[in-house]
Copies of this chain bind each other. A is one copy, B any other.
Amino acid sequence: MRYSSFFAPTLRDDPADAEVVSHRLLVRAGYIRRVTSGVYDFLPLGLRVLRRIEQVIREEMDRSGAQELLMPMVQPAELWQQSGRWNKYGPELLRFRDRHDHESCLGPTHEEVICDLVAKELRSYKQLPMNLYQIQAKFRDEIRPRFGLMRGREFIMKDAYSFHVDRDCLMREYQNMFDTYVRIFSRLGLRFRAVEADTGSIGGESSHEFHVLADSGEDCIAHCEHCDYAANVEKARGRRELPDHQTAPLEEVHTPGLRSADEVADFLGMVPGLLVKTLVYRMVRDGTSSLVAACVRGDDQVQEVKLANVLGADELLLASDADIASIGGVAGFVGPQGLACRVVLDETLRDAAGLVVGANRLDHHLRGFEPGRDLSDASYADIREVKSGDGCPVCDGGLHLTRGIEVGHVFALGARYTEPMNVRFQTADGDRAIPLMGCYGIGVSRLMAAIVEQCHDENGLAWPMQVAPFQLVLISMGQDENVLKAADQMYERLIKAGISVLWDDRRERAGVKFKDADLIGFPLQLVIGARALAEGRVELGRRGEQRQSLSLNEAVERARRLVEACH
């Protein structure tokens, strides 16, 4: 491809709305353009990268034994009603009515469609296991699309769905997909981590997320410095001891105007770890709303995803002051004792004593609180958010928090969808049984952004060879006839050597060409100028490194080797 006729509009300045590097650079370097909120065009450069990423994913999925198909973006409401998600999914599911007034939606994921398909075709255990995948545009109506491709509304996803006769078979495929994902992200040259994850709205039993490590990541992940343990903070467990404490009688103390844990601890001369924060939530479960109180240490935070899972809540919101009053609490001085609602205490508070809690009376707290003694009806669960420095739940090491971009997710769903979608098969014994299911997603367009977050410098993009839109940029300097002729021949030779090449044949100054080459981020740069050419030399180098003077033959050979080294 010649740059002079290639549609790759680069910008001198950063786009105004770009908050993260990948968004900024992908727009500036001519890879993507915004169409509307969270919706982008992939320009030729962007599509080339997307296709290379897809190709790596496709090769590894095929190697794993999965089979590619293609499902539609538009899905009928009936299927979502059958699975029970039509009302549960929330406003990210874009619902609409077609011209015949049939309710439909844009697929944010395809569990329902694949189950409907498999339900109609599956007869015997002999057809199992089966893993079907697609690479396709999806739509999620995010409330606040941002960061370019990182959190778009229309995006490209690889989604796979497997079906199994039993749990062993499912877990084998789960491991197979886990390994496949490791191969995919490794081939893409990424620093990443697989972490234990919450199963969220997809539902199911166990799941892992794959995170590309990057400071701009929206997710926080905890990992052990010593062992393999890693988990999303929405799920991560950490060991933490309560500060020294001892049993004491329960007594009410006057704490005028002191609402925060730190203020009260200070006032009472205690460490914040022995205070208890009590938060009241309004939760919705199966359409019914109720109040619930959650208690954690004063120096901890409630991890609301964990709490929602414990409660089986579809929705969880902080309660209003009026809500709090309705169960006998006083905002700012809420405590677990005497509240007319369910109370959940964090595991760290089990067997604790000598705690301070709100007294449910204005300007008062209780001292000497001991849940096991003072609460008749309380339950304990892991509802705190882990912190750096917590003990690892698996080994003796300590947890460390980093930020990550979630680019992949594997779920062992069990019968969550196959049961309501009426997927059945005949077992070897002739019985009818429900197959177990797994699902496995990769955010393909988000992956493109995640790669950029790891692979860039102050001059622009620095694509790994495997996904670069072109592996080499051929820069001809000036309009000297010998240079153009040599460049033309070099271009043909490089193509023949199996290298993808963009020839920058534009009538631009050398400075502009070098700047664009660095910005767009071709891994290799080959420069042909009149003076060196007169001596039979050209210059070849990796982006960002010193170029070497080589003969034309050497240059082709060196380029070929550098490209092949990455396969």
Could you tell me which A residues sit within 8 Å of B by CB distance?
5-7, 9, 33, 35-37, 39-44, 46-47, 50, 65, 67-76, 78, 91-92, 94, 96, 98-100, 102, 104, 106, 113, 116-117, 120-121, 127, 130, 132, 136-137, 139, 141, 143, 153-154
A99-B69 in contact given A9-B121, A74-B153, A75-B35 (Cβ < 8 Å)? no
Please determine whether B98 and A69 come into contact, CB atoms closer than 8 angstroms: no
In the complex, which residues of chain B have a beta carbon less than 8 angstroms from the beta carbon of A50?
70
A41 touches B99 (CB 8 A): no
Do A67 and B35 contact each other (CB < 8 Å), given the known contacts A74-B154, A113-B41?
no
Residue numbers in B under 8 Å from A35 (CB-CB): 71-72, 75-76, 113, 116-117
Say whether A42 contacts B67, CB under 8 Å: no
Contact of A33 among B44, B102, B120, B136 (CB under 8 A): B120
CA A141 to CA B43, docked complex, whole Å: 28
Check B42 against A74 for contact (C-beta < 8 Å): no
In the complex, what residue of chain B is closest to A154 when comparing beta carbons? B72
User: When the two chains form their complex, are residues B96 and A137 in contact, meaning their CB atoms are under 8 A apart?
Assistant: no
B5 and A65 contacting across the interface, CB-CB below 8 Å: yes
If A33-B120, A69-B42, A96-B94 touch, whether A139 touches B74 (CB-CB below 8 Å) is yes
Task: Collect the chain B residues with CB atoms within 8 Å of residue A120's CB.
Answer: 33
Asked whether, in the complex, the Cβ of B143 is within 8 Å of the Cβ of A99, the reply is yes
Contact of A137 among B42, B69, B94, B137 (CB under 8 A): B137
Residue of B nearest to A131 (CB): B7
Query: Which of B65, B67, B94 is the one whose CB lies under 8 Å from A98?
Result: B94
Assembled-state Cα–Cα distance A380/B78 (Å): 53
**Alpha-carbon distance A67/B47, docked complex (angstroms):** 10
- CB neighbours of A39 from chain B (8 A): 72, 74-76
Q: Which residue of B lies closest to A113 (CB)?
A: B35
Q: A7-B132, A35-B113 are in contact. Are A69 and B96 (CB under 8 A)?
A: no
- A127 proximity list for chain B (CB < 8 A): 7
Among B7, B91, B130, contact of A130 (Cβ-Cβ < 8 Å): B7
A33: chain B residues at CB < 8 Å are 117, 120-121
Counting from the closest, the 9 A-B pairs by CB-CB distance are A96-B96, A36-B76, A42-B70, A9-B121, A91-B99, A39-B72, A72-B154, A44-B67, A99-B141
Contact assessment for A44 and B68 in the assembled complex, using a CB-CB cutoff below 8 Å: yes
- Chain B residues, CB < 8 A from A102: 36-37
For A36, what are the chain B residues with a Cβ–Cβ distance below 8 Å? 74-76, 78, 102, 104
Most buried by B among A36, A68, A91, A102: A36
Q: Which residues of B sit under 8 angstroms from A9, Cβ to Cβ?
A: 121
Give the distance to chain B from A18, nearest Cβ to Cβ, in Å. 16
Which residue of chain B has its CB nearest to the CB of A120?
B33
CB distance from A228 to the nearest CB of B (A): 32
Residues of B near A121 (CB, < 8 A) are 7, 9, 33
Q: In the assembled complex, which residues on chain B have CB atoms less than 8 Å from the CB atom of A71?
A: 35, 41-42
CA distance A422 to B63 in the complex (A): 49
Task: Return the contact of A69 from the options B47, B104, B141 (Cβ within 8 A).
Answer: B47
Contacts of A141 on B, CB cut-off 8 Å? 98-99
| Nearest-neighbor residue (CB-CB) of A130 within chain B | B7
Q: Which residue of the partner chain B has the closest CB to A105? A: B96
A130 — which chain B residues lie within 8 A by C-beta? Answer: 5, 7
CB distance from A73 to the nearest CB of B (A): 6
Find the B residue at minimum CB distance from A11.
Answer: B121
Inter-chain contacts of A67 with B (CB < 8 A) = 6-7, 44
Which single residue of chain B is at the shortest CB-CB distance from A36?
B76
Tell whether, in the assembled complex, residue B72 and residue A44 are in contact, meaning their CB atoms are under 8 Å apart.
no
CA distance A349 to B72 in the complex (A): 51
Instruction: For residue A259, give the distance in angstroms from its CB to the closest CB of chain B.
Output: 35
Complex Cα spacing A127 to B30, Å: 15
Contacts of A40 in B (CB 8 A): 72
Contact assessment for A44 and B65 in the assembled complex, using a CB-CB cutoff below 8 Å:
no
A132 CB contacts on chain B under 8 angstroms: 7, 44
Instruction: Verify A68–B47 contact, CB threshold 8 A.
Output: yes
The answer for the CA separation of A78 and B70 in the assembled complex, in Å, is 31
- In the complex, what distance in Å separates the CA atom of A121 from the CA atom of B70? 33
Give bound CA distance, A354 to B248, whole Å: 119
**A10 CB, min distance to chain B CBs, angstroms:** 10
Q: How far is the CA of A67 from the CA of B94 in the complex (A)?
A: 32
Docked-complex contact B41 and A70, CB < 8 angstroms = yes
A78 contacts across to B, CB distance below 8 A = 36
Most chain B Cβ neighbours within 10 Å, of A9, A99, A137: A99
| Contact across chains for B47 and A70 when beta carbons are under 8 A apart | yes
Inter-chain CA distance A295–B104, complex, in Å, is 44
12 contacts between A and B (CB under 8 A): A5-B130, A6-B67, A7-B69, A36-B78, A36-B102, A41-B71, A41-B72, A41-B113, A46-B69, A73-B154, A96-B96, A137-B137
For A9, A43, A74, the residue with the greatest tally of chain B CB atoms inside 10 Å of its CB is A74
Closest chain B residue, CB of each to CB of A114 = B41
